[in-house]
């Protein structure tokens, strides 16, 4: 990792600001307590995980290219779907947003660093170990976990492979990492805002992350509880989820989704903040409805705690339960709609230019909304009976995750990369990546709506021949989408080495404290708090 | 940093929240059980024998009750209801039975777990005697007829015309042995 980052460029920056005696070389990264270094490590880590999880998606799509079993065993296919989900959720999307939070929150609120720098170091360095443990299960006897990323009991308890215990340890470690990171964000936002930076003056990215951090603190411990119960069910004779001993497997689903639904907002809220930062810059207008954006984000977070059972309409819930969870879920469309309309109103009559971050932000708004609509469809209990566990669900959550959370993160990287590195990426390559991604992301995931509505179940290595065309389209799209992301890596690397120098403000319409420091942002910023008007 | 003491207060509060939410995950277990027991919405019936006090019989209403048996993986028994369906009057007491046979060469212990569909009918099915209240021990190749005595409460919701009572039979012999070992 150090070989990638620790170039003469960065060390040159050291010389300019050599008030500190930080270790150099690999030790700089291992012992780092600097929010910028840790942010960079989070981002690189998440990109590596993105490639690993993506490679697994390629295996899945290759197997599904045509009907029949050709490349992998069904059990290995299940391991791929499970690991793909776990790695993308916990290894790619979440660390990417934590990396952005580390880099940007102190810069945006005028703080010299995160409030708890040593803890920051620990929350990052837990992750490589957690994922090494999780990935090592692929090479174990009995294979990796194969019960889906939702690890429903009894698949994961009675019938789980031996490596399930490594999975449990890995999840515990990821949970600790997330909780520590979230505590750090909350303490930073509460205590380290520059004088004059009131809560209602904070950039929306800081707000969405602040709320995300509360979600993390509240639901990651519930996940830890769920895997602990799994562990004791597996080895210590308890029967939390075992009907034979008086437990109930449906209870697992309740506990898991009590974590799981807030978790989906943990993944998307930071992307909301990113869109709210980028769109005003390139529309050259202040964000429309700032206060309503804050309240909408908070409402989404609160509602996320009372909707979990919409993931389990088919377990045999009474009508009154289905109605409650259906109405509560549909209610979430209201604050989400407020946000979407605010973004559109921000652009209304603006002087818009279409640099790559803006393109990604626009694609985010449109495609995330498509994912939101299919979410509202799934929230309808009666029709969910048909959609449940089909590819329609796969299409829905990939629309909110890939063009939602991941496009948001890519937009953020393009937007702030010049601030981090001091250099511009290639706009031409970036636009190529954007347009290819747009085509391929829709080619991959849009046909899944149709195959799902036609009845194709998820998590199967083989399928009925009437789904063949849609699946082949999805597979072609997926291969293209995967390859296109390599352009992203090359573009950033090339920009970092050879890009032209960036100005402090970088983007003409950019406003906010992060644009007042030089590009690249020096190792230490805001040692003296800035003055907020 | 001047705000250090400030930090520790927030950190303590947040750590308390973390511990509390971890506890809440476990608290969901009894909450869930109590909630399901009171509302009966999960299709779980009471594990205690009901007492029949000669309820008024509603002969205006006929209810179909279906019996289903499920044998879980790792249970080498035969297990089926004596009759698969009965037509009953609410308030009247009935008896039927399930037949089990241990077709293996080992002595085994089974536990039947009941479940009722639709879930909201669970509270209205009262069992005065059920093999599911106890573990069933069968010697190798032994068979048994296990009685079930029940009545349906006449307050059963109007919209319910058919009830399905399903029993899943689990092999709990291994747990049994482990318990004996620890008891020694």
**Mutation target among A114, A123, A191 for the B interface, most CBs of B within 10 A:** A191
| Residue A218 to residue B21, Cβ atoms within 8 A | yes
pLDDT for A247: 86
Residue A464: give the domain boundaries.
Answer: 2-10+24-515
Q: What is the CATH number of the domain that holds A199?
A: 1.20.210.10
pLDDT for A162: 94
Q: Which of A14, A458, A459, A523 is catalytic?
A: A458
- A362: in domain: yes
Which comes out higher in pLDDT, residue A235 or A10? A235
* Domains of chain B by residue range: 1-39, 63-183
What would the two tokens of residue A7 be?
A: 């170039």
A292 given a catalytic annotation: no
Which comes out higher in pLDDT, residue A112 or A18? A112
Q: With a cut of 50, say whether residue B83 has pLDDT above it.
A: yes
Q: What is the mean pLDDT of chain A?
A: 93
Query: Predicted confidence band at B115 (pLDDT cuts at 50, 70, 90)?
Result: confident
Taking the alpha carbons at both ends of chain A, their separation in whole angstroms is: 40
Which residues are paired to B85 by β-bridges?
A: B66
Segment B174-178 mean pLDDT: 50
pLDDT per residue over A322-338, tens digit each? 999 999 999 999 999 99
- A529: in domain: no
Nearest to A414, CA basis, from A368, A365, A354: A354
Segment B150-160 mean pLDDT: 87
Query: Predicted confidence band at A450 (pLDDT cuts at 50, 70, 90)?
Result: very high
Range with the poorest average pLDDT among A435-444, A460-469, B46-55, B82-91: B46-55
CA–CA min distance A322, chain B (Å): 11
Of A115, A223, A254, the CB nearest to B7: A115
A113 given a catalytic annotation: yes
Q: With a cut of 60, say whether residue A458 has pLDDT above it.
A: yes
Segment A15-19 mean pLDDT: 48
Asked if the C-beta of A14 comes within 8 angstroms of chain B's C-beta atoms, the answer is no
Which comes out higher in pLDDT, residue A177 or A18? A177
pLDDT for B174: 67
Q: Which of A233, A242, A263, A384 is catalytic?
A: A263
- C-alpha distances out from residue B54 to A89, A247, A274, B48, B60, Å: 58, 33, 69, 18, 17
| Residue A243 to residue B113, Cβ atoms within 8 A | yes
Q: With a cut of 70, say whether residue A117 has pLDDT above it.
A: yes
- A68: in domain: yes
Q: With a cut of 80, say whether residue A21 has pLDDT above it.
A: no
Q: How far apart are CA A153 and CA A175, in angstroms?
A: 20
Instruction: Spell out the residues 6+ positions from residue A425 whose beta carbon is closer than 8 angstroms to its own.
Output: A356, A414, A417, A418, A491, A492, A494, A495, A499
Strands (E), B29-142: 63-71, 77-81, 85-88, 93-102, 108-117, 125-130, 136-138
Asked if the C-beta of A528 comes within 8 angstroms of chain B's C-beta atoms, the answer is no
Of A187, A218, A321, the CB nearest to B7: A187
Residue B119 near residue B45, CB atoms below 8 Å:
no
A19 given a catalytic annotation: no
Asked if the C-beta of A219 comes within 8 angstroms of chain B's C-beta atoms, the answer is yes
pLDDT per residue over A39-54, tens digit each? 999 999 999 999 999 9
pLDDT for A293: 96
Of B22, B36, B39, the CB nearest to A221: B22
Interface of A with B in 152-181 (CB under 8 A): 179
Number of domains in chain A: 1
What would the two tokens of residue A348 be?
A: 């209304």
pLDDT for B153: 87
Range with the poorest average pLDDT among A318-322, A418-422, B96-100: A318-322
Compare all CA atoms of chain A with the CA of B6 and give the residue at the minimum distance.
A191
Segment B97-109 mean pLDDT: 90
A261 given a catalytic annotation: yes
Segment A513-526 mean pLDDT: 93
Q: With a cut of 50, say whether residue A17 has pLDDT above it.
A: no
Nearest to A400, CA basis, from A378, A422, A369, A424: A369
- A303: in domain: yes
For the domain bounded by B63-183, which CATH number is listed? 2.60.370.10
Segment A104-121 mean pLDDT: 95
Query: Predicted confidence band at A26 (pLDDT cuts at 50, 70, 90)?
Result: confident
Q: With a cut of 90, say whether residue A494 has pLDDT above it.
A: yes
Q: How far apart are CA B46 and CA B122, in angstroms?
A: 8
Query: Predicted confidence band at A24 (pLDDT cuts at 50, 70, 90)?
Result: confident
| Residue B43 to residue A316, Cβ atoms within 8 A | yes
- A533: in domain: no
Interface of A with B in 230-289 (CB under 8 A): 237, 240, 243-245, 248, 250-251, 254-255, 258
- A223 to chain B: which residues are within 8 Å by CB? 25
A437 given a catalytic annotation: no
- C-alpha distances out from residue A337 to A340, A342, A362, Å: 5, 8, 15
Asked if the C-beta of A48 comes within 8 angstroms of chain B's C-beta atoms, the answer is no
pLDDT for A226: 96
Asked if the C-beta of B31 comes within 8 angstroms of chain A's C-beta atoms, the answer is no
Segment B168-172 mean pLDDT: 88
pLDDT per residue over A137-196, tens digit each? 999 999 999 999 999 999 999 899 999 999 999 999 999 999 999 999 999 999 999 999
CB atoms within 10 A of CB A222: 24
**Mutation target among A123, A243, A305, A321 for the B interface, most CBs of B within 10 A:** A243
Q: Which of A35, A172, A261, A398 is catalytic?
A: A261
Segment B28-45 mean pLDDT: 79
pLDDT per residue over A253-266, tens digit each? 999 999 999 999 99
Q: With a cut of 90, say whether residue B178 has pLDDT above it.
A: no
- B33 to chain A: which residues are within 8 Å by CB? 248
Q: How far apart are CA A320 and CA A89, in angstroms?
A: 32
Q: With a cut of 50, say whether residue A240 has pLDDT above it.
A: yes
Interface of B with A in 111-140 (CB under 8 A): 111, 113, 117-120
Question: In percent, how much of chain A has pLDDT > 90?
Answer: 90
């Amino acid at each position: 990792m150090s070989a990638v980052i620790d170039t003469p460029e960065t060390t040159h920056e050291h010389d300019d600001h050599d008030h500190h005696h930080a270790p150099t070389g690999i030790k700089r990264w291992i012992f780092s307590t600097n929010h910028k270094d840790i942010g960079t490590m989070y981002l690189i880590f998440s990109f590596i995980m993105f490639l690993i999880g993506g490679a697994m998606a390629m295996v899945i799509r290759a197997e599904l290219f045509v009907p029949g079993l050709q490349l992998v065993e069904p059990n290995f296919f299940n391991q791929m779907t499970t690991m793909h989900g776990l790695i993308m959720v916990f290894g790619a999307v979440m660390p990417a947003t934590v990396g952005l939070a580390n880099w940007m929150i102190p810069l945006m609120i005028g703080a010299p660093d995160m409030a708890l720098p040593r803890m920051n170091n620990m929350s990052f360095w837990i992750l490589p170990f957690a994922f090494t443990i999780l990935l090592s299960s692929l090479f174990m006897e009995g294979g990796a976990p194969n019960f889906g990323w939702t690890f429903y009991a009894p698949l994961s308890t009675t019938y789980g492979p031996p490596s399930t215990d490594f999975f449990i340890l890995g999840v515990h470690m990821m949970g600790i990492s997330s909780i520590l990171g979230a505590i750090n964000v909350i303490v930073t936002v509460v205590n380290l805002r520059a004088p004059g930076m009131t809560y209602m003056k904070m950039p929306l990215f800081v707000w969405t992350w602040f709320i995300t951090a509360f979600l993390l603190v509240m639901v990651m411990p519930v996940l830890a509880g769920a895997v602990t119960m799994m562990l004791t069910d597996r080895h210590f004779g308890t029967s939390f989820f075992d009907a034979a001993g008086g437990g109930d497997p449906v209870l697992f689903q309740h506990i898991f989704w009590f974590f799981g639904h807030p978790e989906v907002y943990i993944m998307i809220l930071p992307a909301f903040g990113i869109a709210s930062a980028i769109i005003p810059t390139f529309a050259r207008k202040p964000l429309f409805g700032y206060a309503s954006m804050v309240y909408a984000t908070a409402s989404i977070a609160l509602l996320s705690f009372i909707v979990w059972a919409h993931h389990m309409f088919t377990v045999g819930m009474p009508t009154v339960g289905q109605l409650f969870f259906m109405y509560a879920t549909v209610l979430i469309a209201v604050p989400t709609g407020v946000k979407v309309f605010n973004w559109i109103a921000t652009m209304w009559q603006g002087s818009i230019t279409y640099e790559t971050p803006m393109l990604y932000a626009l694609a985010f708004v449109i495609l995330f909304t498509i994912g939101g609509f299919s979410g509202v469809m799934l929230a309808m209990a009666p029709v969910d009976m048909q959609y449940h566990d089909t590819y329609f669900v796969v299409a829905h959550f990939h629309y909110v995750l890939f063009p939602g959370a991941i496009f948001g993160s890519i937009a953020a990287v393009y937007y702030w990369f010049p601030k981090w590195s001091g250099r511009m990426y290639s706009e031409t390559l970036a636009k190529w990546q954007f347009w290819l991604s747009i085509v391929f992301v829709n080619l991959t995931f849009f046909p899944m709506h149709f195959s799902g509505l036609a009845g194709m179940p998820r998590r199967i290595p083989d399928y009925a021949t009437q789904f063949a065309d849609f699946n082949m389209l999805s597979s072609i799209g997926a291969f293209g989408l995967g390859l296109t992301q390599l352009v992203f890596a090359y573009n950033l690397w090339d920009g970092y080495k050879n890009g032209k120098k960036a100005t402090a403000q970088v983007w003409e319409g950019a406003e906010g404290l992060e644009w007042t420091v030089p590009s690249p942002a020096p190792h230490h910023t805001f040692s003296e708090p800035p003055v907020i008007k | 940093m001047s705000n250090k003491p400030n930090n520790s207060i927030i950190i303590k509060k947040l750590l308390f929240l973390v511990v509390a939410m971890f506890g809440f995950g476990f608290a969901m277990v009894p909450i869930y059980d109590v909630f399901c027991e009171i509302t009966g919405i999960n299709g779980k019936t009471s594990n205690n024998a009901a007492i029949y006090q000669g309820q008024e019989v509603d002969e205006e209403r006929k209810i179909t009750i279906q019996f289903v048996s499920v044998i879980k993986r790792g249970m080498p028994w035969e297990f089926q209801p004596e009759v698969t369906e009965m037509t009953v009057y609410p308030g009247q007491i009935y008896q039927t039975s399930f037949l089990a046979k241990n077709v293996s060469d080992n002595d085994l212990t089974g536990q039947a777990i009941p479940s009722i569909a639709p879930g909201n009918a669970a509270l209205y099915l009262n069992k005065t005697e059920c093999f599911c209240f106890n573990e069933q021990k069968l010697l190798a190749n032994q068979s048994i007829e296990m009685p079930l005595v029940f009545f349906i409460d006449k307050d059963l919701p109007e919209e319910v015309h058919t009830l399905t009572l399903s029993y899943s039979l689990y092999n709990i012999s291994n747990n049994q042995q482990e318990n004996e070992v620890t008891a020694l």
